[in-house]
Copies of this chain bind each other. A is one copy, B any other.
């Protein structure tokens, strides 16, 4: 399951209400493109903002819409008991795997994060992916700590944050050397994906893959078959999009792309998050029209 392209759809929140039909359509679109797995309720799926009931409904909709394609469900929460409830709900909904970020309000210690993963590992019957996202969790993983968590029974993958693309080869080698052999190496940060897959990463947990699945798949498949030139070229043309990601956050930009494609209304994020301004939305539209869909 932790291989190839894992596509992370947005969870449309329209007027403070989760719209499962629009969400299911995003999932079906990614599945039709041929992605290897769906990542429901990732950061791109706004999991942190949703209630238990909303998450349960989204996880169920994802599994139904994905058919035979495995669904990985994000279960992060501030409190361990809420994480455990989320793990149970996700498994009941049919999740094939769980994605767990050490979400924090008070900055967490390593022992506290280890305790959280131990509790979830003991309670879960499906594989868990460590979700390292320092921008949203403010927890800094070391490679040694990946290894410590990777030794837990159900931990079978890690999702590492991006590095500059020219460090991809070294970084993938370093993390691979630290991880137990049974733990898949996943990457995030879409700009980092092509070089990381070419350097041997197992899976790309992709923001773009949830909204532009054909293009993300073309990049991934080229890398997987060793066609470095095609993978790098398709990825490089997205440089103006990566620049927007850096400036406005990948979530807001992806939300704008989905609106531009007519997949969602423009205001589709949970408040206080806001859609991009008209001006920036216009820049997003321009970038999109320039893309070679492969």
The closest CB in chain B to the CB of A113 belongs to B272
Nearest chain B residue, comparing its CB with the CB of A269: B106
The answer to whether the Cβ of A222 comes within 8 Å of any Cβ in the partner chain is no
A side interface size, CB within 8 A: 32
Measured between beta carbons, the chain B residues less than 8 angstroms from A79 are 16, 49, 270-272
Is A112 a contact of B78 with CB atoms below 8 Å?
Answer: no
Least CB separation from A104: chain B residue: B136
The list of the 8 closest CB pairs from A to B, nearest first, reads A48-B105, A80-B271, A116-B272, A112-B272, A49-B79, A80-B272, A16-B81, A49-B78
Q: Does A111 contact B (CB under 8 A)?
A: yes
Question: Do residues B78 and A48 form an inter-chain contact, with CB atoms below 8 A?
Answer: yes
A84 to chain B, nearest CB (A): 10
- Do residues B274 and A106 form an inter-chain contact, with CB atoms below 8 A? no
* Cβ contacts under 8 Å, A176 to chain B: none
Closest to A274 in B: B112
Chain B residues closer than 8 Å to A43, beta-carbon distance: 105-106
The answer to whether A81 touches B249, judged by C-beta atoms less than 8 angstroms apart, is: no
Which has the most chain B C-beta neighbours within 10 Å: A16, A270, A273?
Answer: A273
